[in-house]
A and B are shown apart, each in its own frame.
Chain A
Amino acid sequence: MTRRQFWTGIVALAVSTVLFIIPFVFIAIIAVKDKREASRMGFDWPDSWHFWSNLVEVVEARNYMLLLAYFNSTVITVGAVTVLVVLGAMVGYVLQRRDSKWNSLIWAGVMSGLMIPPAVVPTIWVLQELHLFKTIHGMILIHVAYGLSFAILLFRSFISTIPRDLDEAAIIDGAKPLQIFFRVVLPLLRPVTVTVIVVQSIAIFNDFTNALYYLPGRENVTVQLTLFNFQSQFTSQMNLLFMNILLITIPPLIVYMFFNRQIVAGMTAGAVKG
């Protein structure tokens, strides 16, 4: 390690401490304080520890709403990410491999999905017409629609690094198109699939606004919306609010830590090694 690398490392550590660690520590400290102390919002050591009682209170609040929210968010995230991966990989594959006069039109559609911002009210009209408004599967489809363009983009460019010879060898071996996709191409997409899973599942799990617009209703609550439980115009229970934040930040953090290595490995590896 040279002197220069050493100092760049120190600076990077300092910046990330300020940006990420300090806010997190702040959340954690408030979350263990009692109501009165928390309302002062001070960055000081708690006088008394209420970790467990705060935790229980948050989980039990409004008839175990947080658990229902965890369940709903998990269903939405897993459902949407599964559909995104399968559809994104398949569309990316067909767009990359098959020459057709429709390709440029389809590609323009994919691109406009990235560029044109979604309009909320017309979307709600469409959902109502299709009887998908206020339903979990409607919410899944919304997330698929919002994320699909980016997933197709990633998959398509990755598939272009897989030699066509492999498809042709499989054709000669007697594989049907779906078999080529599922038995030869899809296993090679692992690195980019991991990237899509991590990026999209964190985004979808952390989504606040879309759930607010498209998924109203007590039984449909998602984790981000449980934050409203402890925040109202008149009283705010800061200690419980921050405990809630702490609890719903943990799953994405675990996903990220678990896949971190694989994301890095996936970014640096080509599809077909040597």
Chain B
Amino acid sequence: MAQVVLKNVTKSFGAVEVIKGINLHINDGEFCVFVGPSGCGKSTLLRMISGLEDTTSGTIDIDGRDVTGEEPSKRGIAMVFQSYALYPHLSVRDNIGFGLSLAKLPKAQIKAKVEEAAEKLQLTHLLDRKPKALSGGQRQRVAIGRSIVRDPKVFLFDEPLSNLDAALRSQMRMELTDLHAELGATMIYVTHDQVEAMTMADKIVVLNAGRIEQVGSPMELYDHPASPFVAGFIGSPKMNLYDGEIARRMGCSTYGIRPEHIALGTEGPWGGTVKHIERLGADTIVHMDSPEVGQLVARIAGDRPVRIGDMFRAAPMTGKEHRF
């Protein structure tokens, strides 16, 4: 197993600098998630680690070895694509074994390895089908199987779940987490979905416009966001963020408070009228208009009665406020 170290890595497409100097240390066996808005350079960074994209400057080490100029297949990595990228003309068995047959392994050994991987992913009964006869989740498993048989030091995933429906996605999240626990391999996972990042990661790397905003465990980022960008990106519903005059009154340039850290009642510094209600069952998300701060979102218990037009006073919980 292996650690991945990026030093001053940059990437330009022509005159456009897409990755602007990344320094990052991913530990052995860690599940590391790159998260950020669309177009911030997550895929590009992952493809640079895989070797599909070359680096403009800086170095990439995998397992203590500088692989910056190395071919993808020599780096000890495996990659799962968003589109799965299964070979349509090959059966599941041949898809999984493709890399091994290129490496000219003996047939019996390929068969054993493919069947072991298929066992692990509950694909045994599908081995002789073609990809087009599989469901989305099964295709995803085949793509993962194809990466497992290569025994890579590092697994790379580029938004592997974004083509699946919500129920399947949460199931696959758990399966991937289990797989990580079972294999103990280093995994790097790209997503734009902060829920995936929060639920799966050991370490989250928040990227914004080609730079790292913050690195930390999910709860570190949730409790101590280093910038308004991270504060707004991590957590759902989004943190209430205020700048300008409102923040200046609080003694900072940006003031933030999470919806779950606002107490609604008869007391508090801010008034508010309920404009819109989202009932999630256990919780209710209340969107309010406030004369003091403008828009305000709060999370309250699901069993508490609330109606559009209700008036509340809102109080931020002390110690839960964020000042930037």
Contact = CB atoms under 8 A, between A and B. Distances in A.
B8 to A, nearest CB: 25
B85 A168 contact: yes
B78 interface: yes
A173 B83 CA distance: 16
B73 A274 contact: no
Nearest to A175: B102
Interface in B277-314: none
B37 interface: no
A173 B98 contact: yes
Give the interface size class of chain B: 20 to 34
B221 interface: no
Contact of A169 (B71, B77, B85, B89): B85
Interface in B178-235: none
Nearest to A163: B83
Given A163-B83, A179-B102, A272-B88, A172 B72 contact: yes
Contacts of A187: 89
Nearest to A179: B102
B68 interface: no
B55 interface: no
Given A174-B103, A187-B89, A168 B98 contact: no
B79 interface: yes
B132 A274 contact: yes
B85 A171 contact: no
B270 interface: no
Interface string B74-99: 00011101010111110000000011
Contacts of B102: 173-175, 179, 183
B11 interface: no
A184 B52 contact: no
Contacts of B77: 172
A47 interface: no
A165 B103 contact: no
Given A168-B81, A169-B86, A273-B132, 20 more contacts: A163-B83, A165-B83, A165-B85, A166-B87, A168-B79, A169-B79, A169-B87, A170-B87, A171-B52, A172-B52, A172-B73, A172-B78, A172-B79, A173-B146, A174-B73, A174-B102, A179-B102, A188-B88, A272-B88, A274-B132
The 4 closest A-B pairs by CB, nearest first: A173-B99, A174-B73, A165-B85, A169-B85
23 contacts: A165-B81, A165-B85, A166-B85, A168-B79, A168-B81, A168-B85, A169-B79, A169-B81, A169-B85, A171-B71, A171-B72, A172-B50, A172-B73, A173-B73, A173-B99, A173-B150, A174-B103, A175-B73, A183-B102, A184-B87, A187-B89, A271-B88, A274-B132
